[in-house]
Each structure stands twice: as C-alpha cells, then as structure tokens.
C-alpha cells in the first residue's frame, strides 16, 4: 500500500514530529518520509481531510464480538470494521462467545478469522474451562496459540485457591491473569449501583463493597504468589485507592476503567433505559471523580470501551431481565475528548499495549505505518447513524461528543470512512 497523507498534525510524544503539521509518505506499508511538504511524484493516493490529526494506532483491551455462536450480535469481520472506523488498530477480544474461547483450537479459530485485516485482533482465553469457574483451562496451550491474557469475562472467580494457583502457574510463562472485580455473594441480584437512586427506583443494588472485597482479595493473593494481574473495569473510588496502594508495594498489577464509568452516574437510570445496564454498574459522582483522578496520576493504566454488542431481544425488555452491556467503540474517542485534553485522550487510547504483549509504535521514518486518523475539534450528537456495529445498544446515544474519527492505516492496509 502506497499513500501520501497531506497536512496532518501528529499527536505522538514518541515522534520527532510531535505537534507538527506535516505530510507523511507511506510506501509498502512503511513510513518512508515525513516533511512539511512532500511532492507526489509517483502519483500515489492522497489523503486530504478537514483538520486532520494522526497518532499511533489506538488499542482497546476489552471488546466482545459474539462470533462464534452469537453472530446476530456481531461478527468478527464487522467488529473489526467497527474498530477501524472508530480509530482502533488493535483490540483484545474477550472469550465470551458460544462456545467460549478456552482451548488452543478456539484461539487459532478467531485469529484465523481476523487474518489480513487492518485491525489486529489479540484473543483472550478463558481462565477456567467453559468459563464455569471450577477448573483451570489449558492456559499454556492457549498462550502458545496466541492468547494474550486469561479471563472469564465479567464472571468473578469465587474460589480463591483457584485464583492463587492460576497466578502461580501463569508466572511460569509470563502469562497475564485477569480477574473480574465482583464478589458475587455480595452483589447477588443487584442490577445497578446500590445507592439512593436504587432505592428510589426500586431496583436491586450492587454495592461498591462487592467490587472492593474482590479486588482486596486478589491483591492479597498477588502479593502471596507473585505473577501478573490485570483488574478490568474498576468503578469505585475505593478500588482506585486499593490499586494505588498495591502499586506502592511494587505488586505487578494493572487495571482499566470503562469509558462510560467515567462519564455517567447512576442518576442516568431514571428512565430505565436498559442501555445503561452495564457491569460493573455506573456509580456516583464521587466515584467518577476518583476514577478520573486515578487516570491522571497513573493509578489506572488504561481505558476501554468494554464494547459488548447485545441483540435487541435481550435489551428491549424489562430492566431486571435485560442483559448487561453497551457498545462503545464508536463513541470512545468522542466521549474521552469531553473529559480530557487531546494529548491525554491519545495517551489513554494508546496505553496498555505492552501489558498485553503488543509492540508499541510511533509515527517515525522507517516505522511500519500504524496510524489512527481523526479530527479532534468536531462536536456532534451521537445517534444510531454513527453506529457501525450490528447491535445498537449504545449507552452514549443522544449524547454530545467531541471529535470525529476518519479511520486507520495499519498492517499495510487502509480503512477510511
């Protein structure tokens, strides 16, 4: 692929051209020249877009596509297209398909379905067989097939000894263990944050305590065993404090937060809109404030869209019976830009790669082109017309966002809207 990008402002602190508006020449998928002006002597395809900005490709550490088994929610092919249109050049795929991804063959299957795409797919295998929480899956075999981490998506590991053994075993091959932060015997049938709002709405509450107890337990186990732990999608102020203290002890722990947990509070459930039924639940303004502070000081390592397509039959029903989940790839950039500067937004969208074994990149001469293209200044209201996903369960629907994504250039391919 040969292409000349014209008048693009580079947002990449690793690049010598950071904050400069330049032309970028890409030949055979590699950046061959960056300069204030480059003549198109070879008549390559030119990219000229309004207020064009570029950065190294973005990464999302938690996406679900449904396939195999839930193709009506999202296929891998359309999911990767959605990721590209949303500015992501790499995604980590959760194993919550049907059947779940818990073997060498399963990892190989999803990798094969994503071959030759501009967006790189990095599969996560289950931590336990069948994601049933009873027996440890074949972690080493899955790592050999290309699994980048091990996680029973949104299912807490109730048995502490199982978590202890998993951390010890995976440390033999530098495997990353993920543990969903919820003590299910405390959360029980809670469908939203336990707070004033849950009482007023008459909905069962899922208390912050359920998350914090599980995190505290896992951090004690990590301190005892060693190993590598990633806590996905934390949502409470106390969780931030627990992770911060663990990092001060030099424990090998990272964590993420879902973008919608930075933006909404539990007051948003007043309309009983099931798009707001997510796990962990959206919580209070004080929790939101501490989550944002945790991102600013580095306690929280990365953000995720926690993109989880759910078909209309499982969303457009009574709140208690609706499935948890929202799509989030398409709204990720625009939502973050309402909360952070462009520099911080790009940093958040590119963090986490190394934790998941992905080589970071930069916009530099001689580097393989791994680029996200966007306009950071455009404001708009997010509607269904902005959705590429097959499922339309968008928590950010009818929300004003800032920043449009044009597409990506990666893996010697280009996908532009």
Active-site amino acid positions: 306
Strand order in the sheet with 302-304: 176-178, 228-231, 253-258, 302-304
For residues 180 and 155, is the Cβ–Cβ distance under 8 A?
yes
H or E segment and range at residue 231: strand 228-231
For residues 242 and 190, is the Cβ–Cβ distance under 8 A?
no
Nearest Cα neighbor of 257 from 228, 229, 286, 287 is 287
What sign does the CA torsion over 339, 343, 349, 353 have? negative
Nearest Cα neighbor of 12 from 63, 56, 77, 48 is 56
H or E segment and range at residue 127: none
Helices (H), ranges, 297-361: 329-337, 342-350
Classify residue 277 as exposed, middle or buried by CB count within 10 Å of its CB (0-12, 13-18, 19+): buried
Q: Are strands 302-304 and 253-258 parallel, antiparallel or unpaired?
A: parallel
Classify residue 185 as exposed, middle or buried by CB count within 10 Å of its CB (0-12, 13-18, 19+): exposed
Classify residue 272 as exposed, middle or buried by CB count within 10 Å of its CB (0-12, 13-18, 19+): middle
């Amino acid at each position: 692929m040969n292409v000349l990008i014209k008048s693009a402002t580079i947002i990449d602190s690793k690049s010598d051209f950071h904050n400069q508006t330049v032309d970028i020449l890409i030949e055979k998928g590699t950046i061959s020249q960056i300069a204030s002006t480059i003549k198109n002597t070879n008549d390559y395809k030119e990219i000229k877009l309004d207020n064009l900005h570029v950065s190294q490709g973005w990464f999302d550490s938690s996406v679900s596509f449904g396939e195999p088994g839930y193709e009506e929610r999202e296929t891998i092919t359309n999911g990767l297209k959605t990721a590209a249109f949303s500015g992501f050049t790499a995604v980590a795929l959760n194993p919550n398909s049907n059947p779940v991804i818990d073997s060498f063959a399963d990892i190989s299957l999803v990798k094969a379905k994503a071959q030759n795409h501009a967006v790189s797919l990095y599969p996560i295998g289950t931590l336990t067989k069948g994601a049933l929480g009873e027996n440890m899956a074949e972690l080493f075999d899955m790592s050999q097939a290309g699994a980048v981490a091990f996680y029973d998506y949104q299912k807490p590991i109730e048995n502490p000894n199982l978590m202890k053994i998993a951390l010890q075993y995976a440390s033999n091959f530098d495997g990353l263990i993920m543990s969903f932060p919820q003590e299910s015997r405390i959360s029980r049938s809670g469908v939203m944050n336990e707070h004033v709002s849950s009482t007023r709405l008459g909905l069962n509450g899922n208390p912050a305590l359920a998350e914090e107890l599980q995190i505290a337990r896992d951090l004690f186990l990590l301190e005892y065993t060693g190993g590598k732990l990633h806590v996905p999608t934390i949502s409470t102020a106390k969780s931030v404090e627990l992770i911060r203290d663990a990092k001060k002890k030099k424990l090998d722990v990272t964590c993420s937060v879902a973008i919608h947990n930075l933006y909404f509070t539990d007051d948003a459930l007043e309309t009983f809109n099931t798009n707001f039924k997510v796990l962990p639940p959206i919580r209070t303004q004080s929790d939101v404030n501490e989550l944002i502070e945790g991102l600013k000081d580095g306690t929280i390592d990365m953000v995720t869209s926690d993109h989880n397509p759910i078909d209309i039959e499982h969303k457009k029903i009574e709140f208690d019976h609706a499935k948890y989940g929202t799509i989030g790839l398409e709204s990720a950039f625009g939502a973050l830009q309402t909360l952070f500067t462009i520099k911080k937004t790009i940093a958040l969208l590119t963090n986490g790669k190394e934790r998941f074994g992905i080589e970071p990149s930069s916009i530099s001469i001689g580097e393989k082109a791994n680029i996200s293209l966007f306009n950071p200044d455009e404001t708009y209201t997010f509607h269904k017309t902005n959705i590429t996903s097959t499922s339309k369960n968008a928590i950010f629907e009818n929300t004003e966002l800032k920043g449009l994504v044009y597409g990506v250039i990666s893996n010697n391919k280009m996908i532009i809207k």
